[in-house]
Structure formats: C-alpha cells, structure tokens
Amino acid sequence: MSEKLTIGKLASATGTKVETIRYYEQIGLLPAPARSTGNYRTYEGEHLRRLSFIRRARDLGFSIDQVRELMGLADRREQSCMAVDVIANQHRDAITRKIADLTALAGELDALIDSCSRNTVADCRIIEALGPSDPC
Amino acid sequence: MSEKLTIGKLASATGTKVETIRYYEQIGLLPAPARSTGNYRTYEGEHLRRLSFIRRARDLGFSIDQVRELMGLADRREQSCMAVDVIANQHRDAITRKIADLTALAGELDALIDSCSRNTVADCRIIEALGPSDPC
DNA sequence: CTTGACCCTCTAGCGACTAGAGGGTGCATA
DNA sequence: TATGCACCCTCTAGTCGCTAGAGGGTCAAG
C-alpha cells in the first residue's frame, strides 16, 4: 500500500522528467519528501497522487499558479466548487482568445504566402510586405 | 532625407519600446547606430526601415531567428525567394499545429466544465477528473 | 540655475522548465 | 573484493523575448 518510490520511478510513473520533479519541489508545488540514508528522495503514494494532478492540469494548459490554486481548492473538500469552475472558465476563455489570435495570424500569413511568385527576392511579395513602403 | 532620430523617436515611430530597441541592438538584430557627443544613439532612415521590418515580422509571429534569416535573405535581392517561402510556410505549419492543439484542449476543457454540477468540492467532477483514479 | 524629460549602462526578473558540471550511492556481476 | 554502470545528489546557468529597476548623465526650456 505505502510503496516508496525513488524520483526516477515517480518520474516514469507520471511521465514527468526527474529535473521537473525537483523543480516542482523547489518552487513549493510538490512537498519535499523524506530522504533515505543515502540522501535519496523517497516518495509515497500521496506524492504520486499530487504529481498526477499537477501533470494533468499542466497538460490541460493551466499555469503553475492556477495549479497551485486548484490544489488548494481540492483540499477543502466541503466547500463549494464554484471557484474551481471560475478558474477553468478563465482558462477556457484565454484559450478561445489564443485560437482567435492564431487564426487571424494564419489568415495574414496565407495571404502573404499566396502572393509569392517564387521569383527573385527583389520582387518577392513576402519581403515587400514585411518591409516599409519605401521601394528602395 | 537623412533625418537623425533619437531612440525615443525611433521607438514611437515604430511602436517599439526603447528597451526593446536596445535589446535588439544587443543581440545583433539591429545594427549599432552612431553616437552623439552626449553618447546618445543617433538613428538614420536605414534603422527605421530595418526596425519596421523586424516589427512586422514579429507581429506575424516569426521568431527572432526567423527574422534574422528573413533579413539576411532580403538583402540578397538577386537570389531566388524560395528560401523566404520556405520559412513562411514552416511558420504557417507551426501555427496550424498550435491551433489544432489548442482546439483539442478547448474541447477537453469544455467537457470538464460541462460536468461541473456546482456543488461542493468533494463531488466536483473537475477536481475528480484532474485527480488520479483513487476515489479517496 | 533648476526642473523635468529624456538618455546611458548594467543587472536581474518573468514562466516553466532544461542542461550540464562535478560528485555520491547502490546493486549486480566477475 | 573490485569494478562497472545506472541512478541519485546539489548548484549554476541557459532557453525566449523581452521588461523593469537602480543609479547615473544630458539637454532644452523657463
């Protein structure tokens, strides 16, 4: 039940890099585990649970600060989960904006690329479009 | 014709921050200008032209390295602009991938948010979905 | 002559890791 | 017992593209 894990095992169990785990400990996202006689970190099931949570939230694009907040909320189990909903929705909105921005960008780039006649740089419409109105 | 510009004028003329211009000089993206007696940078029309090019390319999402490459290509005016086309298309592809990734993410988040019944954290499906299979 | 807007250099910080140097630990095998 | 190798440790610096701040100098107007 209470299996001990080395950092390497925890890393492969969660799909995280060893360095990233040490980084999470350093910034206080993952609690520091006990140490073995040889000064090796020894993780418990709880660490595995927390790190899995972190990984999934990060994979969904939540920032470290958002993850910290979500974990704080997850620990107050009797409270309303409205705050959780708020964070998720904020994140969803940010992604919506990013998609819109990138789509607009893609449109501009497409127009640029379509205009390229693949001749010399001197009459390349891409370079021209990037440069100032000066025809040089 | 050959108007001299202070860094502040160049900044407002191109919509760039003063610090950013100094940064571009530091990394060798914008050539170092002459200095006045009081050690002020004095920019010429050519600098304005180059910085405008940089700004537009950056606004289109090209990386600094890509901008460097594009500027190098723009200077070899007699050569084929195929290389320019390649860079633009690589960038376009990267954006396409980003949009696809974000769209998939948005779908996952939507499913998560829809499942929230707005009760207590203890039975919040968002927290549950983030956590491990352990029902705790 | 003083005020205030501008300029200078240098250094450190952001987010979220990643990479590397330089060294210690632990286990299996010869 | 020795040796090899995979793994672990700490500490520091690098990535990208800026941004912010400290601590100071310059210049033109009033």
Best residue of A119, A121, A128 to probe chain B, by most B CBs closer than 10 Å? A121
Instruction: Give the pLDDT score at A125.
Output: 79
Task: Return the ∠ at Cα B64 (arms to B45 and B93), rounded to 5°.
Answer: 120
Check pLDDT > 50 for residue B134.
no
Look up residue A11 and give its two tokens: 């890393």
Residue–nucleotide distance: B64 CA to C7 C1' (Å)? 26
Q: Which helix (H) or strand (E) holds B49?
A: helix B45-59
Instruction: Give the pLDDT score at B1.
Output: 47
pLDDT in tens, A34-49: 999 999 999 999 999 9
Q: Please, what is the angle between helix A45-59 and helix A18-26, to 10°? A: 100
Highest mean pLDDT among A83-87, B116-120, B124-128: A83-87
pLDDT in tens, A98-111: 999 999 999 999 99
User: Domains in chain A, start-ordered, CATH in brackets?
Assistant: 1-79 (1.10.1660.10), 85-136 (no CATH)
Q: Is B105 helix (H, G, I), strand (E, B) or coil?
A: helix
Residue–nucleotide distance: A61 CA to D9 C1' (Å)? 31
Query: Is the model more confident about A135 or about B82?
Result: B82
Query: Is the model more confident about B123 or about A20?
Result: A20
Task: Indicate yes or no: CB of A122 within 8 angstroms of CB of B77.
Answer: yes
Check pLDDT > 80 for residue B102.
yes
CA distance A22 to chain B (A): 21
Q: What percent of chain A has pLDDT over 90?
A: 70
Q: What percent of chain B has pLDDT over 70?
A: 95
Which has the closest alpha carbon to A7: A16, A18, A15?
Answer: A18
Mean pLDDT value of segment B122-135: 72
Task: Indicate yes or no: CB of A132 within 8 angstroms of CB of B85.
Answer: no
What CA–CA distances, in Å, run from B109 to A51, A70, A88, B96?
Answer: 20, 14, 7, 20
Task: Indicate yes or no: CB of A132 within 8 angstroms of CB of B52.
Answer: yes
Residue–nucleotide distance: A19 CA to C23 C1' (Å)? 17
Check pLDDT > 80 for residue A112.
yes
pLDDT in tens, A61-87: 999 999 999 999 988 877 878 889 999
Residue A129: which pLDDT band, with cuts at 50, 70 and 90? confident
Residue–nucleotide distance: B20 CA to C7 C1' (Å)? 15
Q: Strand D nucleotides below 7 A of a protein CB?
A: 7-10, 16-21, 25-27
Instruction: Give the pLDDT score at B128.
Output: 82
CA distance A38 to chain B (A): 30
What CA–CA distances, in Å, run from A14 to A5, B108, B127?
Answer: 12, 20, 18
Binding residues for strand C (Cβ < 7 Å): A 17, 19-20, 23, 36-40, 58, 63-65; B 6-9, 11, 18, 22, 39-41
How far apart are alpha carbons B15 and A21 in whole angstroms?
41
CA distance B37 to chain A (A): 30
Which has the closest alpha carbon to A65: A112, A102, A19, A28?
Answer: A28
Look up residue A101 and give its two tokens: 């921005």
Check pLDDT > 50 for residue A32.
yes
Number of A/B CB contacts below 8 angstroms equals 161
Residue A88: which pLDDT band, with cuts at 50, 70 and 90? very high
Task: Indicate yes or no: CB of B80 within 8 angstroms of CB of A106.
Answer: no
- End-to-end, the C-alpha distance of chain A in Å comes to 75
Instruction: Give the pLDDT score at B50.
Output: 95
Strand duo A34-35 + A41-42: pairing: antiparallel
Check pLDDT > 60 for residue A28.
yes
Mean pLDDT value of segment B62-77: 91
Task: Indicate yes or no: CB of A81 within 8 angstroms of CB of B124.
Answer: yes
Residue B135: which pLDDT band, with cuts at 50, 70 and 90? very low
Residue B132: which pLDDT band, with cuts at 50, 70 and 90? low
Give pairs for B21-29: CB < 8 Å, separation 24+.
B21/B51, B24/B51, B24/B54, B27/B64, B29/B54, B29/B64, B29/B67, B29/B68, B29/B71
Which has the closest alpha carbon to A128: A116, B90, B55?
Answer: A116
How far apart are alpha carbons A18 and A22 in whole angstroms?
6
Check pLDDT > 70 for residue B136.
no
Which residue is associated with the tokens 């032209």?
A: B49
Instruction: Give the pLDDT score at A2.
Output: 56
Mean pLDDT value of segment B56-72: 94
